[in-house]
Amino acid sequence: RKEVEQDPGPFNVPEGATVAFNCTYSNSASQSFFWYRQDCRKEPKLLMSVYSSGNEDGRFTAQLNRASQYISLLIRDSKLSDSATYLCVVKRPGGGNKLTFGTGTQLKVEL
């Protein structure tokens, strides 16, 4: 079983739609959780951290369920510019900023 699992998609949605991505992780001792965005042939960039109480940043909402080892990302009012691959990222226990990445979920927002 992969340490971090995501649905690879692609998710093709019309502009203005609401879309949700899910992610599960296997190590219950994982400490920090993030969503990164990666555009085609570019480096990953932090979209948002995920906190236990859930958090929102504009059109983006992230949720964490430690009991179910489940992370989600909700995008409201999708824009064409949201088209990208969204990476679920979990920090491993122990020293160093050792991150485990999901394979990513591809989003395509269409007119």
Partner 1 sequence: NAGVTQTPKFQVLKTGQSMTLQCAQDMNHEYMSWYRQDPGMGLRLIHYSVGAGITDQGEVPNGYNVSRSTTEDFPLRLLSAAPSQTSVYFCASSRDQNTEAFFGQGTRLTVV
32 contacts partner 1 (rule: CB under 8 A): yes
**DSSP-assigned letters across all residues of the chain:** --SEEE----EEEETT--EEEEEEES-TT---EEEEEE-TTS--EEEEEE-TT-EEETTEEEEEETTTTEEEEEE-S--GGG-EEEEEEEEPSSSS--EEE---EEEEEE-
Interaction with partner 1 in 41-80: which residues (CB under 8 A)? 42-46, 49
Residue count, binding to partner 1 (CB under 8 A): 23
If binding is defined by CB under 8 A, does position 4 make contact with partner 1?
Answer: yes
Please give the residue ranges that form the binding site for partner 1 (CB under 8 A): 2, 4, 31-32, 34, 42-46, 49, 87, 91, 95-104
